[in-house]
Amino acid sequence: MKFVTFKTSKDEIRAGWICSNGVVDMNLVSKGELPSDLIEFLRGHEQYMQLIEENYMEVESTYSLDEVTLMAPLPKPESFRDFMAFDEHVKNAAKRAGDVLAEEYYEIPVFYFSNNKTICGPGVNVARPKKSKRMDYELEIACIIGKEGKDIKAEDAENYIFGYTILTDWSARDFQMKEMKILLGPAKGKDFATSMGPCLVTKDEIEQFRIEDGRYDMEMTAKVNDVLLSKGNFKNITHSFAKMIERASEDVTLYPGDVLGSGTVGRGCILELGTEVHRFLEPGDYVELEITGLGKLGNTIV
């Protein structure tokens, strides 16, 4: 299923899912049996999914897609960890900086905490930071945790995944590079916005693309102003989400609604491609990410 958070013409924020002819408001069609918030839904999703399967799979849409505005599926996730799980991206970025990939990269999946209060959805205008001249996109896939757990082993991690969505990790490269010279960060280089959406796709929907070892044959692309710049594939991930979950949950509890970003797919940003291929982002640019099975996520820079 494809779950969404949306805003009605009355500015009401609701939760539901995409059906063949529109959007189902799950709280409305169930007369309150299902919640109106996706975080709350995730906390009790095993019970709620059973209710949907038994009673609400064939309901008519509540709204057409034209009547609503899709938001980020989780506008305010519980937390947001962003990893660097594609070694091609890390190698390319290191080479651009005149550095090499640390051997420790292959020992542990590393991540940083990003700002979970600046999440935005499809169609939202994303403001370039006032002092930045080197704004970039990063083409990522995100995993959404659906079950509370601590010290989760990689072999059990699949039980804790609810689904996946597209993620744009917006980056102010001039801020980021200066910060990281001080051996801390990224901070303000990643603090201002992250796009997510358009749907939270349940893991069973992408099972058809599974090949092996937590890898999926799912093409990932990024366009700027309708020009294809980045092309990669989820199957080339170095650290699987199972390994990321094991690392993130070590000595720490993960909760329903936590978001884990994959980090950038290889050649999935302008930093890697180089300004000889495309300049950094300017106001007016339209950036669209697409991942097989997950849809398209587009935003305009202002």
Tokens of residue 229, six digits: 């710049």
Give the pLDDT of residue 185.
86
Domain, as residue range, for 46:
2-69
Domain termination site, one of 50, 69, 88: 69
Q: Which one, of 224, 228, 221, lies nearest residue 268 by Cα?
A: 221
- Whether 74 is covered by a domain: the verdict is no
45 within some domain:
yes
Q: What is the number of domains present in the chain? A: 2
User: Are 151 and 25 members of one domain?
Assistant: no
**Whether residue 252 sits in one domain with residue 297:** yes
The answer on 182 and 235 residing in a single domain is yes
Do the beta carbons of residue 191 and residue 115 sit within 8 Å? yes
Cα separation values, 204 from 74, 116, 164, 187, 207, Å: 19, 26, 10, 35, 5
> Do 140 and 197 meet the contact criterion of CB atoms below 8 Å apart?
no
Q: What is the pLDDT of residue 93?
A: 87
Structural domain contains residue 84: yes
Residues 116 and 36 in one domain: no
- Please report the pLDDT score of residue 198 as a whole number: 98
Which domain-ending residue is among 18, 37, 69?
69
Does 235 share its domain with 145?
yes
Same domain, 96 and 231: yes
Are 56 and 105 in the same domain?
no
Q: What is the pLDDT of residue 100?
A: 87
**pLDDT value of residue 282:** 98
Are 201 and 222 in the same domain? yes
Give the pLDDT score at 246: 98
277 and 171 within one domain: yes
The domain that holds 116 is classified in CATH as: 3.90.850.10
pLDDT of residue 99: 86
Cβ distance 235 to 283 under 8 Å?
Answer: no
The pTM of the full predicted model, rounded to 2 decimals, is: 0.98
Count Cα atoms within 13 angstroms, Cβ side, for 18.
Answer: 17
Tell me if 216 is assigned to some domain.
Answer: yes
Within 10 angstroms of residue 278's Cβ, the number of other Cβ atoms is 16
Q: How far apart are CA 54 and CA 48, in angstroms?
A: 10
For residues 55 and 84, membership in a common domain is answered with: no
Rounded to whole angstroms, the Cα distance separating 119 from 108 reads 27
Q: Is residue 16 part of a domain?
A: yes
DSSP code at position 57: T
Last residue within a domain, chosen from 69, 92, 121? 69
The per-residue pLDDT string of the chain (302 residues; one tens digit each, 9 = 90 and over) reads 999 999 999 999 999 999 999 999 999 999 999 999 999 999 999 999 999 999 999 999 999 999 999 999 999 999 999 999 999 999 998 888 788 899 999 999 999 999 999 999 999 999 999 999 999 999 999 999 999 999 999 999 999 999 999 999 999 999 999 999 998 989 999 999 999 999 999 999 999 999 987 799 999 999 999 999 999 999 999 999 999 999 999 999 999 999 999 999 999 999 999 999 999 999 999 999 999 999 999 999 99
Check whether residue 157 and residue 231 sit in a common domain.
Answer: yes
- Tell whether 135 and 271 lie within a shared domain: yes
